């Protein structure tokens, strides 16, 4: 449970808010690289942290993320003409480069120098892996680029998608560190989905519905360990890293690729669920990629032309009560991503955390909230750089591992929880 003021601190990320300042300390995924596939391609509207922006790729291949609205009289530059090194407003022809600098005001004499005085807000936009990343904080505090493993492996080893989710980022992210819901909500799917089925660990998940949670801190966030009984008095551990503010990695299953998410605020009542799958050691197979493209695993099928899931609030997520009754799916909603999203959206746009009744399986969530609150306070009061900004904090992995009962996961799984280039995740 949180007080209302604490809930507000964590869930409000618009300009000028303390939570927004925290998010503006990090490089964040802004677009899929495929959204700007070539020079002079159409610009894309981007809303992040409640700011309306437009992204484009100019004639020389430079990426830009600038204020959506023309400095003249406020037209959306999404209508702009991407030509000759800039984005030109179609209303009266004012033109901007990728830094937001106005290059031309055709109605004014060139010698007046008027256009030099006009500059739109802009943020850097950098391609790394399949993602275009942005940093929306003060230029003098811009950290080095992120070093998440999924974005550093060769292209053939990673698949990334994104979908909109119609609720605040925090309740979506909290699903990502809540390993206890898997045995309930995703029952049925983990043994049928092509990207989850067949792992030995699935049996442990289904054989013990009372996982014990142990949460330990790492410099960038937390490792959330969920312990279930395995054979011979041993424990099956599923360990989920959370890197501040909103990166989570799902523990692997058998020999399947490893999945994870970023939960990025669009505004206070909507977020992007970024979903990646990768293998550190080899290329994804054609079958795996085909399953991901078809919306299996943690990916979804879309309403054509965008990133809204085909199963959404407006069609009751295509809930199938017969499948629910028969236990084919536990909630009646199909697919892991929409099983999560449907329930998280059902909590309302921003869940009221003053009314919760938390239990021991919520320990990861409780600790993550407190870590965030501490970081916000330290940033506001002392300007302390928050955990997760340093790229060294990104070198984490999830693990699924069977350990003797007397061994603490933080020691016994230490190596498995760090990046070991080219080597597969520890997985059961
Ligand atoms: S509103 Fe953009 S040029 Fe006039
Ligand atoms: Fe889930």
What does the pLDDT look like over 292-343, one tens digit per residue? Answer: 999 999 999 999 999 999 999 999 999 999 999 999 999 999 999 999 999 9
Given a contact cutoff of 8 angstroms between Cβ atoms, the answer to whether 98 and 58 are in contact is yes
String of DSSP letters for 56-70 = EE-TTS-EEEEESB-
- pLDDT tens-place string over residues 57-92: 999 999 999 999 999 999 999 999 999 999 999 999
Can you give the pLDDT at residue 180? 86
- To test the pocket of ligand 1, the residue of 43, 92, 100, 104 to mutate (highest count of ligand atoms within 8 Å of its CB) is 92
Can you give the pLDDT at residue 188? 82
Given a contact cutoff of 8 angstroms between Cβ atoms, the answer to whether 397 and 257 are in contact is no
Can you give the pLDDT at residue 302? 98
Can you give the pLDDT at residue 119? 98
- The packing angle between helices 363-382 and 4-11, to 10°, is 80
Ligand nearest to the CA of 78: 1
Can you give the pLDDT at residue 206? 85
Task: Say if ligand 1 is within 6 A of residue 73 CB.
Answer: yes
Atom index in ligand 1 nearest the CA of residue 77 equals 2
Q: Ligand 1 centre and the CA of 103: distance in Å?
A: 13
Distance, in Å, from the CA atom of 330 to the CA atom of 190, rounded to the nearest integer, reads 11
Can you give the pLDDT at residue 277? 98
Can you give the pLDDT at residue 191? 86
Alpha carbon 281 to chain centroid, angstroms:
23
Instruction: Name the closest-CA residue to atom 4, ligand 1.
Output: 92
Can you give the pLDDT at residue 126? 98
Task: Say if ligand 1 is within 6 A of residue 266 CB.
Answer: no
Task: Say if ligand 1 is within 6 A of residue 282 CB.
Answer: no
Alpha carbon 354 to chain centroid, angstroms:
25
Given a contact cutoff of 8 angstroms between Cβ atoms, the answer to whether 41 and 32 are in contact is no
Distance, in Å, from the CA atom of 37 to the CA atom of 55, rounded to the nearest integer, reads 12
Task: Say if ligand 1 is within 6 A of residue 78 CB.
Answer: no
Exposure string of 63-78, with b = 16+ CB inside 10 Å and e = fewer, is bbbbbbbbbeeebbbb
> What global pTM score does this model have?
0.97
Radius of gyration of the chain from its Cα atoms, rounded to whole angstroms: 22
Positions in the chain whose pLDDT score sits under 50:
none
Can you give the pLDDT at residue 291? 98
Q: Ligand 1 centre and the CA of 64: distance in Å?
A: 19
Task: Say if ligand 1 is within 6 A of residue 399 CB.
Answer: no
Q: Ligand 2 centre and the CA of 182: distance in Å?
A: 6
Instruction: Name the closest-CA residue to atom 3, ligand 1.
Output: 92
Other CB atoms within 10 Å distance of the CB of residue 353:
22
């Amino acid at each position: 449970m949180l007080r209302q003021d604490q809930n507000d601190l964590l869930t409000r990320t618009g300009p000028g808010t303390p939570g927004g300042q925290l998010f503006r300390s990090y490089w964040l995924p802004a677009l899929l690289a495929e959204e700007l596939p070539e020079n002079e391609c159409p610009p894309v509207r981007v809303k992040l942290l409640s700011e309306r922006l437009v992204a484009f790729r100019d004639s020389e291949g430079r990426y830009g993320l600038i204020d959506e609205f023309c400095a003249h009289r406020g037209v959306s530059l999404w209508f702009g003409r991407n030509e000759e090194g800039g984005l030109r407003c179609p209303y009266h022809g004012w033109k901007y480069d990728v830094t937001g600098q106005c290059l031309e005001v055709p109605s004014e004499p060139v010698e007046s120098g008027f256009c030099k005085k006009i500059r739109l807000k802009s943020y850097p936009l950098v391609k790394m892996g399949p993602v275009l990343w942005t940093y929306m904080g003060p230029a003098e505090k811009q950290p080095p680029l992120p070093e998440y493993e999924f974005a550093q492996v060769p292209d053939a080893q990673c698949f990334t998608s994104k979908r909109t989710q119609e609720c605040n980022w925090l309740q979506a992210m909290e699903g990502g560190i809540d390993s206890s819901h898997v045995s309930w909500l995703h029952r049925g799917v983990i043994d049928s989905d092509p990207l989850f089925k067949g792992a030995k660990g699935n049996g442990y998940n289904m054989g013990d519905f009372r996982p014990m949670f142990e949460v330990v801190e790492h410099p960038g966030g937390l490792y959330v360990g969920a312990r279930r009984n395995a054979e011979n008095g041993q424990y099956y551990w599923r360990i989920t890293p959370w890197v501040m503010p909103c990166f989570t990695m799902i523990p692997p299953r058998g020999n399947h690729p490893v999945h994870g998410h970023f939960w990025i605020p669009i505004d206070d009542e909507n977020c992007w669920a970024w979903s990646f799958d990768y293998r550190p050691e080899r290329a994804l197979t054609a079958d795996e990629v085909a399953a991901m493209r078809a919306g299996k695993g943690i990916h979804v099928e879309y309403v054509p032309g965008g990133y809204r899931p085909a199963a959404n609030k407006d069609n009751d997520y295509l809930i199938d009560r017969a499948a629910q009754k028969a236990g084919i799916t536990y909630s009646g909603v199909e697919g892991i991503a929409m099983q999560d999203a449907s329930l998280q959206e059902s909590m309302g746009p921003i869940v009221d955390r003053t009314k919760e009744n938390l239990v021991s399986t919520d320990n990861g969530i409780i600790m993550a909230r407190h870590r965030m609150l501490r970081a916000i306070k330290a940033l506001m009061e002392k300007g302390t750089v928050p955990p997760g900004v340093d790229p060294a904090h990104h070198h984490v992995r999830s693990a699924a591992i069977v350990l003797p009962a007397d061994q603490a996961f933080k020691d016994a799984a230490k190596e498995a929880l760090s990046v070991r280039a080219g080597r597969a995740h520890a997985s059961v």
